[in-house]
Structure 1
Amino acid sequence: MAVGLAATHAAKRALVIAPQWIGDAVMTEPLLRRLQARGERLTIGALPWVAPVYRAMPQVAEVIEFPFAHGGLQLRERRRLAQQVDGQFDVAYICPNSLKSALLPFLAGIPERVGYLGEARVGLLTHRLKNPSKGKRPPMVAFYCALSGEADVNADRPQLHIDPAAADAVLQVLGLQRGGYVVMAPGAEFGPAKRWPTRHFAELARQLSLPVVLLGSAKEADLCAEIEQGCQTPGLSSTPPPPILNLAGKTSLAQALAVISATRSMVSNDSGLMHVAAGFGVRQVAVFGSSSPLHTPPLNAAAHVVWLKNDPSYQPPLDCAPCFERVCPLGHTRCLNDIRAARVLAFL
């Protein structure tokens, strides 16, 4: 029912229900750019931990932080918020596939509610798109752009923007100089089968000539501490260790975005911060393991992907990849363990 949607939405007030993951939030930006270009005023409804991503998108007029937590329908909170926004929107675009994400637009009586079918929410949507199976799902940017109802949804790449003066203010507080450091983001919330070993991050850091900034959430503080400790271990290199600034769990997401926007380059796993770096167009190396860059690549002309699956010289071939598992089901995690620091260093 999405056919013809684009032609009817000019100058409408739109509520976009955002995904709950940072990387997915970045990958909705091309959708928002399309909607804003045809005259829609965009308000984003987002959970607090992804809201800063949308404040780095100039086309967004307003961000509403949802007071929801993980798990449960939380009907009372959704009804209360629905009453507050009743009559304020003409159309809602619902990016997540969950039932609960479609409840607020329905309860608020928003006339047009666009989303993918799934979780028995057919009655909550007025414009329904078929949800492709996992094996046939397009790259996520195209998946979200299809909500616009427009054709040619594969050409866009996400773009983020932070006012340089605001970013420089963050750098000054942290004692950093624009372009004078390398960011490493060793986390991947999905699981260890997406995380390049910390010993390889440490080995790489010791070979760099610039200071290294470690970014991650409080949950990733142990990973970053392992890298910091590994850089100080004697015998790894004949050169002295680089200065390390471990910011894991010590910055807000807004501050982390500022740090990434001004870095010389960045190394990460397939993670939300990987997509943030792509959105800023910074030089980056993305290390892939159990997941696939064919589905969630860093859409950035300055990005280099390291994935042993598509390396014909790597033997024996990784017939098990991509497995999309949280933990290697075979117990060896060759897809990441066998990526040496020198391989990543070649792209920095």
Structure 2
Amino acid sequence: MHNPIDALLAEKGVLLADGATGTNLFAMGLESGEAPELWNETAPEKIEALHQGFIDAGADIILTNSFGGTRHRLKLHNAQDRVFELNRKAAEIACRVAAKAGSRVIVAGSVGPTGELLQPLGALTYEAAVEAFLEQIEGLKAGGAEVAWIETMSAPDEIRAAAEAAIRAGLPYTYTGSFDTAGRTMMGLAPKDIHAVADDLPEKPVAVGANCGVGAPDILAALLDMVEARPQATVVVKGNCGVPEFRGAEVHYSGTPELMADYVRLAVDGGARIIGGCCGTTFEHLAAMRRALDEHKKTQPPTIAEIEARVGPMRNKGAAQSGAASAPAGRRERRRGRG
């Protein structure tokens, strides 16, 4: 399989992925409960504006508007019979915008969880999950997506099912977990163990890592564990823009452009090769991240104390992993207990 990520990494060293899809589409008028994927047909100009905003801010990788693009998610909107076409259109829109960029921009096909539990915890079989992801990824590939970007995952079996679907479709793939439950995913996967999920598959991921979660400090702690576990791996972090705060009926994220810029510096120092933003990350945030990435020179990995001093306290201090394992000898420390 052609690996566009490695090719661009060889040129640039560290890549900047885009920011939040939902946050920015809500700002454009998406209603709560409405499927963003339907806008690929009904409001393609807004999806184009989303991608253009991130490219203008400096993104090297943009994700298609297809996070909930499996039949299991689209059935909630009576669109389960339109999986292929909605995903194809998502990729076509992103490719159309990327083609006009003044520099190389990779189009990655966003693949989120099905929302179903796999057996034995739920009714979804592994093979049915593979088929659902394959249907989606084939649509993304037909529209021009270069990579299957499997994200916000919790269950190892679901990651494997999506990865197997990408392999069957003939696309290189990445995957990221959301370590939002005491430093692990909701289904108990630890950051240090994420690499092994696809070890016995015939094609290995081009990158693995973490996205979403509970804020910059925690995803940076997960980064240290992932990098220590496999120092040669290409590791992704795509963290939320601060933490969510309710203001009336609306959710706002606490992160400033300055905070997200410092998150980028810490992520580079911690060994990340692909860095982006998740929930709450706007074009303004991403532009600040681009400037920080361009100006920063990598130094030694930070300790947890340094991370907390610069980007705020961790939310999951009771996690089992050290969170600072990749710090040099003499600088290591354990996460403090829950306070």
**TM-score scaled by length of structure 1:** 0.30
**TM-score scaled by length of structure 2:** 0.31
Instruction: Choose between structure 1 and 2: higher helix proportion.
Output: 2
